Amino acid sequence: MAEEKKVQGPASYFPSIEKRYGFAINHWLELLEAQKELKHMEMVALLKNDHGLGHGHANALVAYFRSQRGM
């Protein structure tokens, strides 16, 4: 029987982000894609100030987004 691998790192926040804010993760990643010229903390501030995300959730999304794009 295969052992289920536990999701770690920023992606571990994804289920709670989707539940709390009512949008799929792709919604947030597309939003960040449109703002990819911003620095890490500028992206975090955008999610917090313009979309009401908490710091931890915003930071997890930005960290994941940037890591997937080699930023």
Neighbours of 56 (CB within 10 A): 13
pLDDT tens for 23-70 read 999 999 999 999 999 999 999 999 999 999 999 999 999 999 999 999
Q: 4 pLDDT band (50/70/90 cuts)?
A: low
Show the tokens assigned to 68: 């997937």
Residue 14 CA to chain centroid, in angstroms?
7
Show the tokens assigned to 32: 């960040």
pTM: 0.88
pLDDT tens for 6-29 read 778 889 999 999 999 999 999 999
Angle between helical axes of 14-21 and 25-33 (0-180°, round to 10) = 90
DSSP 31-47: HHHTTTTS-HHHHHHHH
